[in-house]
Amino acid sequence: MNKSKRFLAEAACFLLAAVSLAAAISGEQGASLRANPPQERRDAREASVYFLPTLILEHANVVNPLSEQPMLDRTIVLSDGKIQSISSGLASVPGERIDLKGAWVLPGLIDAHIHPLGIAGARSMLSYGVTTGRSMFALNYADAGLRALHNRGDADIPTILASGYAVLAYPVRFKPDITALFLDHPALADLRNDDRIGPEGARRIVRANAGRQVDWIKVFANERAGVLETDPSTRNLNDEELAAAVEEATRLGLPAAAHAYSDEGVSAAVKAGVRSIEHGSLITEPTLKLMRDRGVYFVPTLSSFSLELAPNAPPEVQPLRPRIEKMLAAGIAATAMARRLGIRIVAGADTSYVEGESTAIEEVIQLASAGLSNLEALCSATTVAAECLKLSAAKGAVKPGLDADLVAYADNPVKNLAALRTPILIINGGKIFLNKLPEKDTEKKQ
Ligand SMILES: [Zn+2]
């Protein structure tokens, strides 16, 4: 470089620095001087992925619930929100190193039956190490809203699959009040009466949900168990409405899940073509065999019942105790029978993750007490749940290429499921949500 060119280059550098400094002082973006144009920098999704630091988890014991043997003392490299590699020995890539000192790493837990209410509940869910949830009904598309926050890169919001409004025979009679359906969809207001929605009404509600880009359709084959006014053995949607709803969902490429208790309700939902049965407490062996033959998943939601029987349950559920006791005992028997028949069982806590409610952790523990092995119970909230939710390519295991959703525990949850109650590290899409490792174990090295 000759003298005059060097001078020009230095002058340009000085000029750039001066303008940058002026911009910094005035609080402006210095847009023309940045590598990225301001509109891109303002795009949160791009920013969060682009600037995500590489995380290197050292001395991790990796548990993939599908395999009996854990992988001991591994190094896991996470970048761009994905698991890049798992290896023995140390990785030489630059990034933030976290020494796990032999903590046990599981894939982030999946709860296949949640009722999202808002941001506080979503954060609470993540604080239990539950990094993915399938909404099985949410008012005002709170589930789709949370999904949007996660997708833009918000580290405190787990992955959410939305289902919006459930398809019900009588929307105006349902408890709790779900008439927000007619505020979100005034075009459906002619269904705001005392008549059944009928097959065409069922199709219209499915299409309204699909218009809001839901991931699943929830249908009610039976009435609710959790309120005194309704009998869970009574049908909600009839055969024609169920068939119409599931057919419309299938036509739109959406899987359906059925809330069902009675054997008749489960059987009708399975014949209509649903992918999963929620609750299913009163199911009999022939219907379970039908489920097995059609590859339908079973989400028994046991922990939501046992929680309602807890001594500190709210007083309004006391009159429901005899019913809940019956449902829980039947649900445990149904779960044991389903396991024996080889039906895939999925953890769903039927919860909003507000204080005092059940969690996927309690569901896993309850499934184990219903007869699943610890590994099988862990699969129900990881591998098998991911399969049910059609997310196996991204979730449910610790392997390269999958999403960097990880939870670490001081003790091995395979030996003791209660270890799930105290996560010490939670990583959501490659971002640290919780780190309770001692401070000195986390150091930044470049
Ligand atoms: Zn539910």
Which residues is 443 bridged to in the sheet? 97
Give the domain ranges of the chain. Answer: 3-42, 53-106+399-446, 109-395
Question: Helix or strand or coil: residue 110?
Answer: strand
Distance 140 CA to ligand 1 centre (A): 16
Distance 304 CA to ligand 1 centre (A): 9
Say which residue, 193 or 17, is predicted with more confidence. 193
Cis peptide before 176 (omega within 30 of 0): yes
Distance 73 CA to ligand 1 centre (A): 39
341-362: pLDDT as tens digits? 999 999 999 999 998 899 999 9
290-305: pLDDT as tens digits? 999 999 999 999 999 8
Cα Rg of the chain, angstroms: 25
Note the pLDDT of residue 227. Answer: 84
Instruction: Yes or no: say if 205 and 167 are a contact pair by the CB < 8 Å rule.
Output: yes
396-445: pLDDT as tens digits? 999 999 999 999 999 999 999 999 999 999 999 999 999 999 765 455 54
What's 109-395's CATH class?
A: alpha beta
Same fold, 53-106+399-446 and 109-395: no
Distance 331 CA to ligand 1 centre (A): 15
Distance 235 CA to ligand 1 centre (A): 16
Distance 114 CA to ligand 1 centre (A): 7
Distance 112 CA to ligand 1 centre (A): 10
Distance 226 CA to ligand 1 centre (A): 10
158: pLDDT strictly greater than 80: yes
Contacts of 298 (CB under 8 A, 6+ apart): 276, 277, 280, 288, 291, 334, 335, 338, 343, 344, 345, 346
What value does the mean pLDDT of the chain take? Answer: 88
Instruction: Yes or no: say if 139 and 180 are a contact pair by the CB < 8 Å rule.
Output: yes
Q: What CA–CA distances, in Å, run from 439 to 100, 219, 317, 330, 436?
A: 12, 48, 44, 47, 8
219-256: pLDDT as tens digits? 999 999 888 888 899 999 999 999 999 999 999 999 99
48: pLDDT strictly greater than 90: no
Note the pLDDT of residue 438. Answer: 75
Mean pLDDT for 78-88 is 96
Indicate the helix (H) or strand (E) that contains 438: none
**What is the rounded distance in angstroms from the CA atom of residue 163 to the CA atom of residue 167?**
10
Count of residues for the chain? Answer: 446
Distance 257 CA to ligand 1 centre (A): 11
Distance 210 CA to ligand 1 centre (A): 20
Q: What CA–CA distances, in Å, run from 109 to 10, 49, 82, 112, 143?
A: 55, 22, 16, 10, 18
Which range is least confidently modeled, 9-23, 80-94, 322-336, 374-388? 9-23
Question: Looking at the domain 53-106+399-446, which fold is it?
Answer: Urease, subunit C; domain 1 (2.30.40)
Provide the 8-state DSSP code for 54. P
Distance 426 CA to ligand 1 centre (A): 26
Q: Copy the structure tokens of residue 89.
A: 């020995």
Distance 289 CA to ligand 1 centre (A): 24
Distance 135 CA to ligand 1 centre (A): 9
Taking alpha carbons only, the member of 218, 221, 300, 295 closest to residue 264 is: 221
